[in-house]
Amino acid sequence: MSPRGRRARIRASVYSDSRESYVELFTGDWMGGAGSGQAIGRYAHYLGGITWIGLLYFFNFIQGSAFGEMSDGARGEALRKITWRTLWWFRWAAALTWVSGMWILAHQRAFGSEFADYFSTSGGVGIAFGALLGTTMAANVWMVIWPAQKIAIGSSVTVSEGGEADPEAPAAAKRAARASRVNTLFSIPLIFFMMWPSHFSALVNGVDDIGPSAGGRWTLWIVFLVIWIVMEASTLGKLGGYDNAINRIVLDKHQDTIKVGFLITIVLYVLFEIVS
């Protein structure tokens, strides 16, 4: 069978599996697309994702602005009593979202002999974009935000008990803020590409929509990877420190982060349509 035919068959199979999973919630193949392993995995993915992204937006859109209007004492108390508790839900929701996402990918039929063909379809490319962004965001939570916040909150606890502030706390807070803000940026294209190509492109273009050509996929991936690498490297201070021009323009204000997030999504979507 030609690559075009295999990709069309893969798309039809994936959508068939999705329909079956609603009917056979607790019956059939536990690991397959029609089994409850898929259904429960998706349910956990949605619950974790809603909690994770909701708290991410709380930190960036509400807490950050409120902290700027608080006194040092009030901000420290909120950090110790609210932020500390919220971070528990935040990091474990991120973990649940990532683990359940990997479970969904690992146990659908697309991971069989036609694995490569699935990821050449519109839905596969969209899922791949979303998975890479989601993995980066989860890594930022556990490897940057949480370790940095432990330093910042630990310093606040020490000060509240009459001790000296940790001199590393301001730098740690900056690292956490930058990583949290770039996660907000990434969340906008992540949600779009997890939703649109994988769930709606076939409804618009038919199940025989095979997605971008090989050259189109290369173009999409090059543009996507440049954006991803530049923004993540800049966030981690690898392109001239944490206060470089990119971070000041894109990450200083959450309003600018939202605008750039939608701009990136639109650019990738338009490019997606051009090469498909």
In order, the DSSP letters of 84-116 are: HHHHHHHHHHHHHHHHHHHHHHHTSGGGSTTHH
Each domain of the chain, given as residue ranges in start order, spans 3-275
Contact 106/189 with Cβ under 8 angstroms?
no
What are the per-10-residue average pLDDT scores of the chain (276 residues)? 52 50 51 66 94 98 90 88 95 98 77 68 87 98 97 91 91 96 98 80 57 84 97 97 97 97 96 85
Residue 145 and residue 201 in contact, taking contact as beta carbons nearer than 8 Å: no
Residue entry with tokens 């944490």: 242
- Output the DSSP codes for 192-231: HHHHHHHHTHHHHH-TT---S-HHHHHHHHHHHHHHHHHH
Q: Distance between CA 171 and CA 83 in Å, rounded?
A: 18
Torsion angles phi and psi, residue 145, rounded to 5: -65, -55
Model pLDDT, residue 207: 53
Residue 22 is predicted with a pLDDT of 46
d(CA 225, CA 132): 10
Q: What pTM was computed for the model?
A: 0.85
Helix (H) or strand (E) holding 178: helix 169-199
pLDDT of residue 10: 47
